[in-house]
Each structure stands twice: as C-alpha cells, then as structure tokens.
C-alpha cells in the first residue's frame, strides 16, 4: 500500500464515522429550518434573528447600504426585512450561518476553505441570477441556498482532515494534489449525508449528491440551475486559454433550462464580477 493510499484510508475511515459530522448550533438550526421552508414566516425569522448579534448587525448594515438605502435609516430588523425582501434576507442569513464553518487557522486548510467559500458564494449568486433571468421567481431564494450548499461535503472533508492533522494519533503531511483528490472523491456522498443529518429539505440534499452526475433528473430545475452555475464557476476558476463557453452553451443544463447563448454570456459576467468582489474583501 502506498503512503497516499494509507492516508486516504485513514481520512475515509474518519469521515465515515458519523460522530464526526459537524453540527449547527440549535439557534442556527431554527433559523435555517425556517428560512429554507417553501413559505417561510418572516415574523418567526425576525424573532430568531434578533437573538443573534452577528446576524442583526449584518442585516442592518446591508439594509442601510448604498444599494438598498431609502429615505431614512433602518434601525429595526422588522424594517430591514421589509426593505430587503425575501431573497436578500435569505442570502444574508444563509451566508452568515454557513460562514462560521469556514474559520480554520491551519495553513494547509485555510486557503482551501477560502477557495471553497468563494466558489460556493459565486455559484449561489449565479444560480439565483439565472432563476431571476428566467422569471422563475419562486426558485430565486432556493437557487441561492442550493448553490451555497452544493459543495458542503468538501467543507466537511476539510474539517475532518484538520481534525486528523491536529490529533496526536497521526502525523500526516498532505500535498495540495492529495487534498484535491480527497475532496473530489468523497464530497458528493458526504455532502448528501451531512445535509440529511442537518434535516435540510430533500431538494438541497439531492443537489449536493447529484451536481456532478453525467445522468441526472432533468426535470429537477433547481438542480439544473446549480449545475450550470457550477460549470461556469469552474470555467472561471480554471481561467485558461482553452476555456470557452461552447461546452456550457451546448450543455444539457442549458437545454433543460432554455437558457440562451446570450443568457449564458451574461451569467458568466455576473459570476466573474461576484468573484472580483469577493477577492477584494
């Protein structure tokens, strides 16, 4: 057995141990369950958000930003919700809840988490923009959540790797190529398992499981929205001279969604801009 094979076995055994799954704190669970309902009750969300100082601060800051600013300053969560609307509220709440899990200080794991966070946010932005562009208003918020969570399995695996690195049981030196192999091999199965454990709606669990499958349920519009955003995000990240939109324009996702060549080109611009904003932070 090679050294890499041995390391992969150790990490696979670790991540397959159910007690290793990260858990959301109870308050975050309540907010997440309400915000991901088909018809969320924003009175409940208001009450829950007001108990979280980080969420409260972020929501008020956004509501008073130049983009949303009205004739007067917003000082309450109730007024902020009215100004921002459901889509923006979902965007802010889910990002704040999930971002807390991207907090490694390990020099090997931290840059991987940063790239994963950027990829997730950009995919979420692209999927929700596409839903809006195609006038699928009921899917805009869901598409954002699906994009944000589609690679959650990678986050779990990185957390598991960090746990092993910090333990006294193993002395593991991981090269970036091996980490990439681990993420690609296990993230869909582990993402589905984690979101299922978190009791998230089945639609998001399916996205985590099926966003790389060659053959998938083409009637699942939400899955197609996330898949095409993921395709474009990967293209942007590769950023090579051979990368063009031809394969994406002719992809099953574009066909299933009825997304035009022009729409795909616009989507790429939106997602490139989202990347630039994230890297400037």
Write down the pLDDT at residue 47.
87
Rounded-to-integer distance, Cα 82 and Cα 212, Å? 37
So what's the pLDDT on residue 257? 96
The pLDDT of residue 205 is: 94
| Domain regions of the chain by residue span | 3-18+104-280, 23-100
- String of b and e for 233-250 (b: at least 16 CB within 10 Å)? bebbeeeeeeeebeebee
3-18+104-280, what's its fold? Hypothetical protein af1432 (1.10.3210)
CA pair distance 267, 130, nearest whole angstrom? 7
pLDDT, residue 16, reads 66
Cβ atoms 93, 56 nearer than 8 A: no
Average pLDDT over residues 257-278: 94
Q: Is-contact 211 150, C-beta < 8 A?
A: yes
What number is the average pLDDT over the span 75-88?
83
Q: Residue 191: which of 215, 168, 222, 158 has the closest Cα?
A: 158
Predicted local distance difference test score (pLDDT) of residue 216: 93
pTM: 0.83
> Does residue 1 register a pLDDT over 70?
no
């Amino acid at each position: 057995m090679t050294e890499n094979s041995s390391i992969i076995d150790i990490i696979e055994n670790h991540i397959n141990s159910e007690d290793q799954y990260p858990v959301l704190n109870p308050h975050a669970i309540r907010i997440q369950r309400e915000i991901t309902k088909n018809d969320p009750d924003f009175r409940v969300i208001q009450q829950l958000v007001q108990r979280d100082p980080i969420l409260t601060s972020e929501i008020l800051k956004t509501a008073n930003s130049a983009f949303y600013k009205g004739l007067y300053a917003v000082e309450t969560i109730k007024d902020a919700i009215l100004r921002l609307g459901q889509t923006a509220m979902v965007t802010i709440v889910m990002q704040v809840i999930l971002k807390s899990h991207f907090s490694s200080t390990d020099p090997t794991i931290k840059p991987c988490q940063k790239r994963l966070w950027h990829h997730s946010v950009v995919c979420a932005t692209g999927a929700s923009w596409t839903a809006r562009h195609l006038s699928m208003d009921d899917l805009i918020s869901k598409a954002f959540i699906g994009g944000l969570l589609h690679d959650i399995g990678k986050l779990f695996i990185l957390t598991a790797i960090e746990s092993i690195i910090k333990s006294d049981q193993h002395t593991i030196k991981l090269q970036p190529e091996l980490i990439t192999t681990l993420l690609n091999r296990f993230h869909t199965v582990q993402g589905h398992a984690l979101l299922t454990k978190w009791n998230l709606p089945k639609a998001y669990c399916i996205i985590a499981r099926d966003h790389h499958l060659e053959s998938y349920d083409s009637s699942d519009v939400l899955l197609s929205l996330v898949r095409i955003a993921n395709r474009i995000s990967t293209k942007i990240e590769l950023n090579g001279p051979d990368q063009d939109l031809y394969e994406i324009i002719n992809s099953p996702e574009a066909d299933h969604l009825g997304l035009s060549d022009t729409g795909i080109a616009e989507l790429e611009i939106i997602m490139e801009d989202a990347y630039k904003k994230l890297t400037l932070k």
